Amino acid sequence: MPNARPWIAVVLVLLLAASAFGQTRPPLPMIELEACTIAFTGEAINQGRWGGRIALYDASVDVTGSVTVLTRRIIEKAEHLVRWVRLDQFESCLKRWRFAEPGDYEVSLRGGTIFGPVWLIDVTRGGRGILLRVPYR
The predicted-structure confidence for 41-82, as pLDDT tens digits, reads as follows: 877 666 777 788 989 999 999 999 999 999 999 988 878 788
Alpha carbon distance 42, 121 (integer Å): 22
Structurally, the chain folds into a number of domains equal to 1
What single-letter DSSP state applies at residue 116? -
Which structural domain, as residue segments, surrounds residue 35? Answer: 2-135
Whether the Cβ atoms of residue 55 and residue 82 lie closer than 8 Å to each other: yes
Q: Tell me the average pLDDT across 121-131.
A: 94
Mean pLDDT of 23-39: 86
Can you give the pTM of this predicted structure?
Answer: 0.77
| Mean pLDDT taken over the chain | 82
Residues 103-108, mean pLDDT to the nearest whole number: 97
Using alpha carbons, select from 83, 86, 65, 66 the residue that is nearest to residue 75: 83
- What confidence score (pLDDT) does residue 1 get? 45
Question: Helices then strands (H, E): number in the chain?
Answer: 2, 7
> What pLDDT score was predicted for residue 40?
81
With a pLDDT cut of 70, the percent of the chain lying above it is 80
